[in-house]
Amino acid sequence: MTLDIYVVDAFTQKQFQGNQAAVVLLKEWLEPEIMQKIAMENNLAETAFIKEITPNKYEIRWFSPIVEIDFCGHATLASSFIIFNHFKCKDEIEFSTLKVGSLYIHQNDDGKIEMNFPNQEPQSIKDIPQDLLDGLSIKPIKVLQNRQAYFAIMDKEEDVENIEYNSIKLKQLAPFDVVATASSQKYDFVSRYFWPANGGDEDPVTGSIHSGLAPYWAKELSKTNLIAYQDSSRGGTLYCEIKGERVVISGFAVLYMQGKIYI
């Protein structure tokens, strides 16, 4: 069996920045164990598997090197980039998912790809896990949670930049990950994302978590259009817009590699 594979740098306009994702095109679904092994072999933050249902409508599944993921933004962006730019799709794409419903994607004339995601605004929690507090070197001013992660709200953006994390402690929070975030002077807000329970120590740029970050900061900053920066070693810029029960997350992407998988 031979499969087409692409590697894309997402949420950036320059190679070697943003977040890498592999995109594997399928005619029929593989066994989950095989998809997991491919993701392990790729050893990237995420591998997306896409299967065409009808023209412009695809099923999509995402795998980290460790586990299948419910929702991944940057690998959705990478998959959309391939469909728009290498298969010359000009209309809106719909991705059907197992856990988060349908995702609607289109590309602007400038190459920016807009992804319409469900609004996953986090909620305040009363009982903050001790492993969360012990796992971060700087204490958050408050903690919230959604279906994906704990949100550690920091006092200032320097805290996000300088925070150190204990992967062993944060891994105890499974199945939840942790995002540290603060308002920013250059951007509207910044963040870093730690996910030792589901993928690795720190994710370079995490599109899915911005479906929770953007609604939170939209209320805090009293605005519906926001620019975010994920302050990892690779870094990435995300453009966010709140539209009621949906959140539009946009960004650019560049191709790094194209090849074949032989199974």
Its domain, for residue 55, covers 2-118+249-262
Q: Is residue 59 located within the same domain as residue 134?
A: no
Instruction: Yes or no: say if 166 and 135 are a contact pair by the CB < 8 Å rule.
Output: yes
Q: Is residue 177 located within the same domain as residue 206?
A: yes
| pLDDT for position 28 | 97
| pLDDT for position 77 | 98
DSSP E strands in the chain: the ranges are: 2-10, 19-26, 46-54, 57-63, 68-69, 93-96, 102-107, 113-118, 123-124, 142-145, 149-153, 177-183, 189-195, 200-203, 225-230, 236-243, 246-251, 253-262
Distance CA 191, CA 12 (A): 16
Q: Is residue 59 located within the same domain as residue 140?
A: no
Q: Is residue 133 located within the same domain as residue 219?
A: yes
What are the catalytic residues? Answer: 46
Digit-coded pLDDT (tens) for 59-109:
999 999 999 999 999 999 999 999 999 887 888 999 999 999 999 999 999
Q: Is residue 166 located within the same domain as residue 228?
A: yes
Q: For the chain, which ranges sit under pLDDT 50?
A: none
Q: Is residue 101 located within the same domain as residue 12?
A: yes
pTM of the complete model: 0.93
Counting every residue written for the chain, the total comes to: 263
| pLDDT for position 80 | 97
Q: How many CB atoms lie within 10 A of CB 245?
A: 9
The angle subtended at Cα 178 by Cα 149 and Cα 101, nearest 5°, is 30
Token pair, residue 148, equals: 């994906």
Q: Is residue 135 located within the same domain as residue 73?
A: no
Distance CA 18, CA 161 (A): 16
Distance CA 173, CA 248 (A): 28
Digit-coded pLDDT (tens) for 108-117:
999 999 999 9
Q: Is residue 128 located within the same domain as residue 237?
A: yes
Q: Is residue 66 located within the same domain as residue 35?
A: yes
| CATH number of 170's domain | 3.10.310.10
Token pair, residue 56, equals: 């412009």
Q: Which residues are registered as beta bridge partners of 19?
A: 10
| pLDDT for position 198 | 85
Q: Is residue 154 located within the same domain as residue 136?
A: yes
| pLDDT for position 13 | 97
Q: Is residue 68 located within the same domain as residue 111?
A: yes
Report the number of distinct structural domains present in the chain. Answer: 2
| pLDDT for position 210 | 98
Q: Is residue 107 located within the same domain as residue 136?
A: no
